[in-house]
């Protein structure tokens, strides 16, 4: 069964793989993010994936990456000289 936020089942399959590494999960997560439909809110999709899979596998590397995706990033510093 596919999930509306995981139409290719990439996240689902990552949770089914025994011994999957953080790097493998990172690669899958990138593929998943690139396959989100146009207009799909990424944070909403991440939350849905955490609700669907992460609650049952809190120690899984994909759970850690999805949680990291919800962490706000500090604003980037401007480069260049001020005048």
Q: Cβ-count burial of 37 within 10 angstroms (0-12 exposed, 13-18 middle, 19+ buried)?
A: exposed
What's the pLDDT at 24? 98
| Closest CA relative to residue 32, chosen from 54, 7, 55 | 7
What's the pLDDT at 72? 82
What's the pLDDT at 81? 67
Give, for all 83 residues of the chain, the pLDDT tens digit.
Answer: 567 899 899 999 999 999 999 999 999 999 999 999 889 999 999 999 999 999 999 999 999 999 999 998 788 777 766 65
The pTM (predicted TM-score) of the whole model is: 0.83
- Where does residue 22 fall: left (phi above 0), alpha (psi -120 to 50 degrees), or beta otherwise? alpha
Distance CA 17, CA 36 (A): 22
């Amino acid at each position: 069964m596919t999930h509306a936020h995981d139409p290719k089942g990439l996240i689902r399959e990552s949770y089914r793989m025994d011994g999957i590494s953080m790097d493998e999960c990172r690669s899958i997560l990138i593929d998943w993010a690139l396959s989100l439909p146009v207009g799909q809110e990424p944070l909403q999709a991440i939350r849905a994936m955490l609700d669907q899979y992460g609650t049952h596998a809190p120690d899984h590397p994909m759970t850690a990456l999805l949680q990291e995706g919800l962490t706000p990033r500090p604003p980037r510093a401007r480069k260049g000289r001020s005048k």
